[in-house]
Amino acid sequence: MSDYRNVWALIAAAAFLQLGGGILGVVTPLGLETLGVSPGLIGAIAAVYALGFMVGAYTASNAVILFGNIRVFSAAAATCGASVLVMQLALDPWSWTVVRILQGAAFAWMFSSIEAWLGSTVSVKNRGSVSGFYHLIAKFALMAGPFFVAGLAPVDFRPYLWCAMFLCLSLLPVCLTRRGEPPAPSVEPLPFKRLFDIAPSAVISVFLAGLINSGTLALLPLYAGVALPGTSGGATGAAAIAAAAVWTGGLISQWPAGRISDRLDRRVVIAVMGAVSAIAALVLGLFPGMPQNWILITLAVWGAGSLSFYGIGVAHAIDRSDTAQISRVMSGLLFVWAAGSVIGPPLSGYAFRMPFTEGGLFLLASISSAILAAAMMYRRTKRQDVPKEAQEPWKITLPSTASTGEIDPRTE
């Protein structure tokens, strides 16, 4: 229990961050739609956020070395909170584009500081359980955030005040903690060619995780507004319910899928998750007029398939890496995921209205997931699996960190 007491402040800070992030994930696309922005351009602005995240991920380690974890976190939280208020002061797409770049970089800095700090504070024997608890709390907060603004108009000032408030509150546990700061990280990602040589299946799966999930989730609030008419709370209420369904499916499936991958070829498990995601997305794409309860159930199934294979892909790469390479491999895969997250939202934005109105969003997700499943089965014919006794156990891994993966117990 001492490990949990040592990091409660960091977990609380992450929860406040994700409450704010959950609100932004809903009101940003809905607000842009209200301002008359097309789905394609909304997707492009979502890609700009991912680009900012990449820049933040690239610069986070040097920033921590220069300024320390607390100062980096505080500066990023203040920047992000101020940028949210700017979204109300300047209600135009170009201002929001600049703001989203800053927010992407700021979130990368904040999560980099928190997760590197967690990894160096928690003992190795408890790092896996603390990591799982941290990710669980963070994702519950991400799901809960949109419900604070359900029923409010997307360009009403109150959602942005809620978000800025949560970002400010995240400063309190970090700035007031009496725990010492960890040593600065010093890990650079592997060159892409070397990373691909080590684990091509991991690179493919992580890239497609960014492309499929970031793109679909960026446009999900718009889809929910059309597919779930009459929902209590209006467009923001529909978006909150749809996001909760998707993330609930992902949370439920993640642990069993990961544990099964410890016993079977991880590429087969990724292929199965991709197939589940492809089938659910195909149903959503072809039958957008289904009863609302069925839409929510199918969204949960899609989330169960699509939000569970990132961590399995990372575990597959770790199985094929030397112990000294693990941190660099995880950092490199984060950049691969971010690259997919830059490409995915614009594609999803243009697919949203083609060819079957809002169903096009999930038709693209279905095709991409089917490609993932086929690629995993093809790669299985090209290289044998790592013997089970040589594999590292699966641990919960989500693409939120911007640093070195030091929170993962396998980096020791």
Cβ neighbour number for residue 385 with a 10 Å cutoff = 16
In one-letter notation, the amino acid at residue 318 is: I
C-alpha to C-alpha distance for 411 and 341, rounded to whole angstroms: 25
| Mean pLDDT value of segment 199-206 | 91
Of 30 and 123, the structure prediction assigns the larger pLDDT to: 30
C-alpha to C-alpha distance for 92 and 123, rounded to whole angstroms: 48
- Are the CB atoms for 304 and 254 separated by under 8 Å? no
Residues present in the chain in total: 412
Burial (CB count <10 Å: 0-12, 13-18, 19+), residue 213: buried
- Are the CB atoms for 216 and 101 separated by under 8 Å? no
For 393-412, what is each residue's pLDDT tens digit?
656 666 664 444 444 545 45
For 144-188, what is each residue's pLDDT tens digit?
999 999 888 889 999 999 999 999 999 998 888 776 666 665 556
Strand ranges (E), 23-116: none
Tokens of 119: 């990894």
C-alpha to C-alpha distance for 163 and 396, rounded to whole angstroms: 27
Give pLDDT, residue 193: 84
| Mean pLDDT value of segment 342-348 | 92
C-alpha to C-alpha distance for 220 and 30, rounded to whole angstroms: 10
Give pLDDT, residue 403: 42
pTM for this model (two decimals): 0.86
Give pLDDT, residue 10: 83
For 61-110, what is each residue's pLDDT tens digit?
788 888 888 888 899 999 999 999 999 999 899 999 999 999 999 998 88
Average pLDDT, the chain: 84
C-alpha to C-alpha distance for 363 and 285, rounded to whole angstroms: 5
For residue 93, give the 3-state DSSP assignment: helix
Q: CA separation (Å) from 311 to 9, 156, 211, 255, 379?
A: 25, 37, 15, 10, 18
C-alpha to C-alpha distance for 410 and 128, rounded to whole angstroms: 9
Residues 6+ apart with CB under 8 A from 116: 64, 69, 182, 185, 401, 403, 404, 406, 407
In one-letter notation, the amino acid at residue 85 is: L
Q: How many helices (H) and strands (E) does the chain have?
A: 16, 0
Tokens of 239: 């978006």
Q: Which of 50-54, 81-85, 128-132, 177-181 has the highest mean pLDDT?
A: 81-85
Q: Report percent pLDDT > 70 for the chain.
A: 83
Give pLDDT, residue 412: 52
Cβ neighbour number for residue 401 with a 10 Å cutoff = 25
C-alpha to C-alpha distance for 247 and 145, rounded to whole angstroms: 12
- Are the CB atoms for 114 and 73 separated by under 8 Å? yes
Handedness of CA 84, 85, 86, 88 (dihedral sign): positive
- Are the CB atoms for 139 and 251 separated by under 8 Å? yes
Burial (CB count <10 Å: 0-12, 13-18, 19+), residue 17: buried
